[in-house]
Structure 1
Amino acid sequence: MFIPRIGEENDAQFEPGMLRRGLDFAGLVNKKSFGLTLLLFACVLYLSYSFNSCLVANLNRALRQQRSHGGLLSYVGTASTPVIRVPESREHGIKKETVVRVVPLTWTGVQDPASMNGNETSDLVDGSPKYRFLRHQGLRPTRKLPDALIIGVKKGGTRALLEFIRLHPDVRAAGSEIHFFDRFHDKGFQWYRHHMPPTLEGQLTMEKTPSYFVTREVPQRVHEMNPATKLLVVVRDPVTRAISDYTQVSSKKPGMLRFEELAFLNGTGGSGLVDTSWGPVKIGVYARHLERWLHCFPLEQMLFVSGERLIVDPAAEMARVQVWVYLSFSIGIRD
C-alpha cells in the first residue's frame, strides 16, 4: 500500500476500498477506547464506594466502643484528656508545675437569666454523646438546686475559681451569673432550678454570683433554700481589688473622676479619710458583710479562697478547695 506524503509531487491516488477500511479501523479503535474508559471509570467508582463504606463502618465502630468503654463518665486521670502544664517555680533544684487535665464540659449556662420567665421549664439536657449514652441506660441527668455557691467578691478572682473548679469531672456549674438571690428571688426556686446544669448522682452543682456577698437579703434567702449550702468567698487585697473595680468601671465611663478623688472624703487623700460608702471601697470592707453571713451560717460552712494564691500557686489553692468540698484530688502539682 502506497501512501503519498505531503509535498511530494506524484500521481498516486487512494483506492476507495482502502479509505473505507481505514475509516472502519478508526471506528473500531474509538469504540474499544470508549469501552476501556467506561470500564476503568466503573472500577474507580466501585473502589471509592468500597473504601468510603469501610471508613464509615470503622468510624461508627470506634465511636460505639468509645461510648461503651469511656463515654459513661470522664475522669481527669485518663490519658485521653488533653494536658495543660503551668510551670511555677524551682525549690531545692526541683521544678514544679501545675498539671491540669481538661475534661470537656458542654454546659455553657444561660445567656441572659432576665430574659427568661418563670413559665419556661425546659427539660432539655446535655446533648453530648456521654449523656445520650446515659439516657439509653436509664440514667437521665436531672437539674437540682446548687450544693455550693461562689458568693464573692467582685474582682477578687471568682471567674478564675469557677473555671478551675469546672475542670473537675464531678462538678457541674452554671456558666453565667444567675443573680437569683439578689435580683430574681421572686421568681421562685423552680425558676432557679431550671437555670442549673443537668447533673448525675454524686456530682456537685455550683453557681457563681459575686454580688451575693454584699447584698443584705441574700444570706437569709440562701439559708431558706438549704442551710447546709457550702459558701466559697474569693478575697483579695482590698486596695488592689478596689483599683481593679474602678478600672473596669472607668473604662466604660469616659470622663470619670480619678480614683483618689472618689476614694477619699476630701477628694485629695491629704487627710487620709477613706470614703467607705463608695462602692469599690465598700465591697472591700469584708468584715461588715461577713457579719451578716455569720448570723445565718457557721464559719465552718465558709471557705475563704485567696485571689492572689490562685495566680501564684493555683494548684495548692485548688487542693484546699477540693478537700473542703469533698472532691477527689484531680488538680495538683507534678514534681
Structure 2
Amino acid sequence: MAPEWNLMPRTLEGQITMEKTPSYFITKEAPRRVFSMSRHTRLIVVVRDPVTRAVSDYTQTLSKSPGLPSFQNLAFRNSTTGLIDTSWSAVRIGIYAKHLENWLRYFPLSRFLFVSGERLVTDPAGEMGRVQDFLGLKRVVTDKHFYFNQTKGFPCLKKPEGSSRPRCLGKSKGRPHPQIPSEVLLRLRDFYRPFNLKFYQMTGHNFGWD
C-alpha cells in the first residue's frame, strides 16, 4: 500500500501560506530547517507570562493524567533549596530568551513578530492588527469580529453580520487552574525574571510580566 501524504495545497499568486506548530520555537533543529526551506519566512511567536504558561501547561496535562504529581514536585529539583527543574518541559518552554537565541542564528529580528498572549485576551483586535500589518495585509479583522465570553474568559470570533454562531476556543481552553502555593509561584517568578529581562532586551518589547 502506498503511503498517504498530507500535503499543503499550492500557494497561488496573492495568497500567503501559514502554518503553526507550538513546538517549532523550542525545537533546536527547527530554525535551520525552516531557513533551509525559505530564508524569507516571516515568524510569528505568541508568548505569555511564563509562570502562567507553566501552570496552564500543568493544568492541561493534569486533565489527561489525574495521578500526576503536584506542580511544586515537578517544578523543583530540590524543594529544600528551591532549585528549579529546567528539564521539566512546562518550565523549560518559558525560557524564551534561550529559544530566541537559537532562532537568531538564522533569522534577523526583523523577520519576527512577537504577539502578547495577554493582549490577545484583552485586546484581540489590536494584536490581530499588528499581525495583519506584519504580513502586509489590509486590516480586515477588527473589533467587530470579537466578543468576550465571560464563561471561558477568552474572546470569541464572530462574523460581523452575525450570520453564524461565534467560534470559541475548545473545551481544553479556559480550564480553572489548580491552587498553587504562593511561595512556589514567587520562586518561579524569581527564576524567570532575568530570562524575561533578557527577552525584553532582545525583542525591544517589555511584556510586563514582572
TM-score band by shorter chain is 0.5 to 0.7
**Does 1:272 find its partner at 2:103?**
no
Runs of 4+ in 1 over 3 A off after TM superposition: 197-200
Cα distance, 1:249–1:235 mapped onto 2, change above 3 Å: same
1:198 offset after TM fit, Å? 4.7
Q: Secondary structure of the equivalent of 1:303? A: strand
Give the superposed CA RMSD: 1.7
2:70 is aligned with 1:258 = yes
Q: CA deviation at 1:236?
A: 0.5
Which AA in structure 1 matches 2:102? Answer: R
Aligned counterparts, 1:100-111, within 5 A: none
Segments of structure 1 that go 5 or more residues without pairing to the other structure are: 1-115, 121-190
Deviations 1:10-34 (A, max 9, x none): xxxxxxxxxxxxxxxxxxxxxxxxx
Shift of 1:332: 2.0
The alignment's TM-score, normalised by the length of structure 2, stands at 0.64
Matched, 1:289 2:73: no
Amino acid of the structure 1 residue aligned with 2:98: R
Q: Say which of 214, 239, 261 aligns to 2:26.
A: 214
Measured against aligned partners, the alpha-carbon deviations of 1:175-205 in whole angstroms (never above 9, x if no partner) come to xxxxxxxxxxxxxxxx6xx622454320111
Corresponding residue for 2:190? none
Larger Rg: 1 or 2?
A: 1
Q: Give, as a single letter, the amino acid of the residue that structure 1 aligns with 2:41.
A: T
CA distance in 2, matches of 1:238, 1:195: 34
CA distance in 2, matches of 1:315, 1:251: 31
The residue aligned with 1:239 is: 51
SS at match of 1:251: helix
Q: What TM-score does the superposition give when structure 1 sets the normalisation length?
A: 0.41
Q: Choose from 88, 95, 114 the match for 1:304.
A: 114
**Which structure has the higher relative contact order (CA within 8 Å, separation 6+)?**
2
Residue 140 of structure 2 is aligned to residue 326 of structure 1: no
| Matches of 2:117 and 2:24, distance apart in 1 | 17
Partners of 1:297 and 1:242 lie apart in 2 by 27
Secondary structure at the residue paired with 1:204? coil
Which whole-Å CA distance do the structure 1 matches of 2:103 and 2:88 have between them?
21
* Unaligned segments of structure 2, at least 5 residues: 145-210
C-alpha deviation, 1:271, in angstroms: 2.8
Please report how far the alpha carbon of residue 279 of structure 1 lies from its aligned counterpart in structure 2 after TM superposition.
0.8
Partner of 2:124: 314
Query: How far off is 1:331 after superposition?
Result: 1.4
Provide the C-alpha distance between the structure 1 equivalents of 2:70 and 2:52, rounded to a whole number of angstroms: 15
1:1-335, aligned counterparts within 5 Å? Answer: 117=3, 120=4, 195-266=7-78, 268=79, 270-333=80-143
Determine helix, strand or coil for the equivalent of 2:19. Answer: strand
Structure 1 residues 235 and 202, CA gap change in structure 2 (3 angstroms): same
The Cα of 1:254 is off from its aligned counterpart by 2.4
SS in 2 for 1:210: coil
User: CA–CA distance in 2 between the matches of 1:209 and 1:333?
Assistant: 26
